[in-house]
Structure 1
Amino acid sequence: MNTEADTCRKFVVPRLQAAGWDNAPHAINEQRSFTDGRVIFVGGRARRGRQKRADYILRFSADYPIAVVEAKASYKSGSDGLQQAKDYAEILGLKFAFATNGAEIVEFDFFTGVETLRVDFPTPAELWTRQRTGFGLSDEAAANRLLTPGFPDPAKPLRYYQETAINQALQAVLTGRRRTLLTLCTGAGKTAVAFQIAWRLWSAGWNKRGDFRKPKILFLADRNILVDDPMGKTFAPFGDARFKIENGVVSHGRDIYFAIYQAIARDERRPGLYREYAPDFFDLIIVDECHRGSARDDSSWREILEYFKPAYQLGMTATPLRDDNRDTYAYFGAPLYTYSLAQGIADGFLAPYRVHRVVTDYDAAGWRPGKGELDRFGREIPDDEYHTKDFERVIALRARTEAIARHLTHFLAQTDRF
């Protein structure tokens, strides 16, 4: 009687090899854990929950997983592992799931919703052809660009959801979807995702017109820290191809541009530095933290996105749909891929948290300026009643901010921060 380990060793691996999955650039990832396991506190100590582990992940190329295989002992039915294979395939964003007991192979195709009993595993070429058909990726050049390798970082390999987000964004661009949105929670590594998308398109020589040239890509955000840090660190492999648009200085000879809205938007003193570039200059615009007003109909920042309408536009946000960011979702459309805070905690990539709520008198009762009251710059504060939703957004009360900072500092000092 063969155990599950016997099934893997004697039947699954040889049949996968016979189908060509062990021949480069294809690969078989065996016994691959793709989560870290939820952080659980027991008796005040942290330990890890169970990791999610697939028996086999089949890769058409190094950066493109395409199917998952689950194996069961020979005394079980081949279909016994199919539900687990389907669950893992859905988590990993894959369209093909297989289960086997060594004698029979059961396939589930998410494109068609059909379950099929097979006598062998499909070849990489067969599965790739079906994948392309399912995604409408008929153009040979576009299909080849999708398989362009990412920038290798052995010290910090991509997590499964980052790889999924990258491949789904690339598929959307290469099949002509002009506006796309990725919703990835805080701490999920959106910058690494943006970099790999830019790197693979740049390395593939993709551009919106199909010319033989590298693409012009703009990374746009609303704060310097969100631009300077990625430009100097994550995007460093681009080398001299990088350029930051600031201080009224523009360049047309680079490939990877960085800017904050405030530096290129129009105001009462200037018409807008973004107009120094032709509307069709950029091939792709990546908008980080895109929920921060860039897509509001009445926003001067929205002008920039409208001006560069010919470009493909990828919005990235950590904020799920809610009343104050509906414009973002209306502009970019439904998220192409979502990775929530709850998923990050369940997978063990993010730590669970406990809310420590601080309510000041201003939050409890609201605040209204006195008649003719001025801010620290000598400007009159608009007469209105301000509440929690307005603080640090519409108005900042220094006394409130300092009180909360003192309270949190004291709170942290009383706990084991390490």
Structure 2
Amino acid sequence: MYVTPKLREAEWETHPHSLTEQYTFTDGRIQITGNHVQRGDKKRSDYILRYNRDFPIAVVEAKPEDAAVGQGMQQAKEYAEILGLKFAYSTNGHEILEFDFITGKESNIPTFPSPSDLFSRLNKSEGLTDKSIETLLSPYHHVTGYVPRYYQQIAINRVVQAVLQKKSRILITMATGTGKTIVAFQVCWKLWNARWNKKNEYRKPRILFLADRNVLVDDPKDKTFTPFGDARYKIENGKITKSREIYFAIYQSIAKDERRPGLYKEFSPDFFDLIIVDECHRGSARDDITYPT
């Protein structure tokens, strides 16, 4: 009764900012007892505060007004850590307790901070430029009926942030079946639409999706990455072009050996702004693998 109006007063329902009530982000742990399979309790946050639709920034746990203000803080902190968020709040509708993961400080505050206040604090800790912020906040490619799972969203936003911070090597470790290709696609989509590139030129980035088998290249190119349309190109049969933006290749098609001339030489060392190596723990990590360096 008291919490939502206070969040509205802090502009959390002013576009593009928003709040999501009763946000369920896990299906519950699978529990097996004999031949019986059931789900455990789902994890559900009372409120998720979003700077924009694709950028959650804080979690709020609301307890009864006669409860102590800090009663929900442990749960709020747990959910914030799971969701990769830096701000957690517990409230009984009258008092508000904040935990800031950036500073490690817990404090009572009179009102909920505004979206601009929270984002400014987050940005200050990450050291992003105005242009980088614009790219970080660029939207996902949305499909009706599908929303990236919370761990996919964490991976997408963290990778984009790492790219904007000019980190040259980024490793994503995700279990089989958890959507690594979806994450790679959304990262590319955000950077591509924001016209990010390493040289800060006014153009879309040139991205290479690299793998060790054709099936790992063809399937993403022809399915997941179809929204890129004619920007896609597969390097194969000894042929290249430099007029596209989203390139796909297997190591063997661009490497040099006794049977191949080494197509990678046709591209300057800084031609690609981003290179994604799929399944890098397997074929690409073998001692005897042949691919351009």
Unaligned runs of 5+ in 1: 1-9, 307-418
Could you report, residue by residue, the CA deviation over 1:39-64 in whole angstroms, capped at 9, with x for unpaired residues?
22345233221110000000001110
Note if 1:69 corresponds to 2:71.
no
Amino acid at match of 2:162: A
Note if 1:165 corresponds to 2:165.
no
Could you report, residue by residue, the CA deviation over 1:356-394 in whole angstroms, capped at 9, with x for unpaired residues?
xxxxxxxxxxxxxxxxxxxxxxxxxxxxxxxxxxxxxxx
Amino acid at match of 1:284: L
Q: 2:252–2:290: 8 Å Cα contact kept in structure 1?
A: no
Structure 1 residue 298: Cα displacement? 6.2
Could you report, residue by residue, the CA deviation over 1:80-108 in whole angstroms, capped at 9, with x for unpaired residues?
11111000000000000010011110101
Could you report, residue by residue, the CA deviation over 1:159-208 in whole angstroms, capped at 9, with x for unpaired residues?
00000000000110011111110100101110000000000000000000
Amino acid at match of 2:58: A
| Within-5 A mapping of 1:139-288 | 139-288=129-278
Q: 2:84–2:154: 8 Å Cα contact kept in structure 1?
A: yes
| Distance across 2 between alignment mates of 1:97 and 1:264 | 48
Could you report, residue by residue, the CA deviation over 1:273-326 in whole angstroms, capped at 9, with x for unpaired residues?
11111111100001110112435676432xx2x3xxxxxxxxxxxxxxxxxxxx
How many residues get paired? 293
Note if 1:55 corresponds to 2:79.
no
Amino acid at match of 2:63: K
Percent identity of paired positions between Structure 1 and Structure 2:
58
SS state at 2:20 partner: strand
- Find the counterpart in structure 1 of residue 26 from structure 2: 35
- Find the counterpart in structure 2 of residue 97 from structure 1: 88
Structure 1 residue 77: Cα displacement? 1.0
Q: What value does the CA root-mean-square deviation take over the aligned residues? A: 1.3
Amino acid at match of 2:266: E
SS state at 1:179 partner: coil
SS state at 1:199 partner: helix
> Which sits farther off after the overlay, 192-201 or 261-270?
261-270
- Find the counterpart in structure 2 of residue 363 from structure 1: none
- Find the counterpart in structure 2 of residue 136 from structure 1: 127
| Distance across 2 between alignment mates of 1:299 and 1:242 | 26
Q: 2:251–2:290: 8 Å Cα contact kept in structure 1?
A: no
SS state at 1:83 partner: helix
Amino acid at match of 2:45: A
| Distance across 2 between alignment mates of 1:297 and 1:107 | 50
Structure 1 residue 115: Cα displacement? 0.6
The structure showing larger relative contact order (alpha-carbon pairs under 8 Å, at least 6 residues apart) is: 1
| Distance across 2 between alignment mates of 1:65 and 1:39 | 27
Note if 1:126 corresponds to 2:108.
no
TM-score (ref. length: structure 2): 0.97
1:19 to 1, 7, 10: 10
CA radius of gyration, larger in: 1
Note if 1:87 corresponds to 2:96.
no
TM-score (ref. length: structure 1): 0.68
Amino acid at match of 1:207: N
Q: 2:29–2:41: 8 Å Cα contact kept in structure 1?
A: yes
Structure 1 residue 269: Cα displacement? 2.1
- Find the counterpart in structure 2 of residue 390 from structure 1: none
| Distance across 1 between alignment mates of 2:218 and 2:290 | 22
| Distance across 2 between alignment mates of 1:270 and 1:43 | 57
| Distance across 2 between alignment mates of 1:281 and 1:296 | 26
Could you report, residue by residue, the CA deviation over 1:324-371 in whole angstroms, capped at 9, with x for unpaired residues?
xxxxxxxxxxxxxxxxxxxxxxxxxxxxxxxxxxxxxxxxxxxxxxxx
Amino acid at match of 1:185: A
Q: 2:24–2:43: 8 Å Cα contact kept in structure 1?
A: yes
Amino acid at match of 2:14: N
